[in-house]
Amino acid sequence: MLRTGIRAWSRRVGKVWRYLSTGNFSGLTGEISQFWEWLCGGKAASRPLSGGSNVKISKGETGDAFRSSNCVPIEVVEMAVYPTEFLVPQLRKHIPLKEFPFVAANKENLDWSEKDLRAKICELGPWTYDLSFSYGLTTRLNSIYSDGTVDFHRFRTKLVSETIIDLLGDEVGQSTVLDLACHCGVFTLDVAHRGAGLVQGIEFRQKNLDQAKFLKKYYRIRNARFRKGDIYRLRSDKKYDVVMCLGILYHVIDPIRLLEFCYDSCKKFTIIDTICHKQPISAYCVAIGKRPEGAPESELEGTRSIELQPTYRAVIETMREVGFREIIEVVGTCDTPIELYSEFSRRCFIGFK
């Protein structure tokens, strides 16, 4: 029975891929509808993909009710249908999971008593990064992250920060770096500790800024600065050698303007780390309901309830269109599966001026 199921799965995926490769999109819609019905064990027979000819809206079925009954979750379609594309040169590196270097080097700070330090960590929480301090204390005292999140962030320190420092080479000590929407400042501090001349972090949420300023003081990193700023109102009147655009592109409503700002503000290169949808088209997918009415604000989401999330091709083509002359992708491998990166739903690009 298992063998039969695998053969059925292969046939379905093969049909969908043939429609994609030949450009037969009318056939593709019907095949994906059947594929989804097969995945659901026949329960979706009367509910094909939204937009199909026999989708019917029952009386009073609108909004979330309509979407939940008619629309195939995009993650299911992407995993089942779309192969991973590589359309630009790649810089590949194997990444062991280690603590952030600035934490490992500076975690002991006896200017703080254990009581005061414990109170400060709890006061500034909840934390989304795993950080260590004196007396064996960590941000787990008041946190909202998991072990998978810890691996995710430790993977990114070599994927992003180490790559920036390597590319700057002998000029790293004289280089300036801008970190957009820097959250609690971990990557700002990481790049500063690794030797950049000055790293400026910009963050909109005051809670994140308070965490960042505490970490800068505690870990004694003098070449990092933080200030409040809204990425929707930034002006590119000051230039930096490098611009870091990490985990932002898929949270905004004007991704093209954001990439224009990155290009205008950098002198050497911009590094863009973002979720990428896998459909083989250049497009931005509308994501709605990111901040439901009445729900508390999450520092892990954007400031709007609607976002435009890019496909892989859209990131590359938009970067080219705003002016980047050369684009490469940084691809990390790891012995531990890393959420989003291992399935290539999140990608890391560098655009050179």
Whole-angstrom Cα distance, residue 331 to residue 352? 17
Q: In this model, does residue 60 exceed pLDDT 80?
A: no
Q: In this model, does residue 301 exceed pLDDT 60?
A: no
How far is CA 151 from each of CA 131, 188, 201, 339, rounded to the nearest angstrom? 12, 19, 23, 9
pLDDT at 233: 87
Q: Which residues of 333-344 are buried (b: 16+ CB within 10 A; e: fewer)?
A: ebeeebeebeeb
* Phi (first) and psi of residue 223, to 5 degrees: -95, 25
Q: In this model, does residue 26 exceed pLDDT 60?
A: no
Question: What is the SS3 string spanning 297-327?
Answer: CCCCCCCCCCEEEEEHHHHHHHHHHHCCCEE
How far is CA 173 from each of CA 192, 223, 245, 271, 330, rounded to the nearest angstrom? 9, 10, 21, 18, 23
pLDDT at 231: 86
Q: Where in the chain is the domain with CATH 3.40.50.150?
A: 90-96+152-352
CATH number of 90-96+152-352: 3.40.50.150
Q: In this model, does residue 41 exceed pLDDT 80?
A: no
- 350: exposed, middle or buried (Cβ count in 10 Å: 0-12, 13-18, 19+): buried
The string of pLDDT tens digits covering residues 135-161 is 999 999 999 999 999 999 999 999 999
Give 13's contacts (C-beta < 8 A, 6+ positions apart).
35, 80, 81
| pTM for this predicted structure | 0.77
Whole-angstrom Cα distance, residue 73 to residue 103? 39
The per-residue pLDDT of the chain, averaged, comes to 83
Minimum mean pLDDT among 30-44, 75-89, 123-137, 319-333: which range?
Answer: 30-44
- 84: exposed, middle or buried (Cβ count in 10 Å: 0-12, 13-18, 19+): exposed
The string of pLDDT tens digits covering residues 155-196 is 999 999 999 999 999 999 999 999 999 999 999 999 999 999
Helix (H), strand (E) at residue 76: helix 74-81
Helix (H), strand (E) at residue 217: helix 206-219
How far is CA 238 from each of CA 161, 242, 351, 352, rounded to the nearest angstrom? 22, 12, 18, 18
Cβ atoms of 68 and 90 closer than 8 Å: no
Strands 307-310 and 240-246: unpaired
The string of pLDDT tens digits covering residues 225-254 is 999 999 888 887 899 999 999 999 999 999
Whole-angstrom Cα distance, residue 92 to residue 63? 43
Give 50's contacts (C-beta < 8 A, 6+ positions apart).
67, 70, 71, 72
Cβ atoms of 330 and 156 closer than 8 Å: no
Token pair 């029952």: residue: 58
Strands 90-94 and 224-228: unpaired
Whole-angstrom Cα distance, residue 189 to residue 129? 13
Minimum mean pLDDT among 52-66, 230-244, 298-312: which range?
Answer: 52-66
Q: In this model, does residue 106 exceed pLDDT 60?
A: yes
Higher-pLDDT residue of 95 and 23 is: 95
Q: In this model, does residue 48 exceed pLDDT 50?
A: no
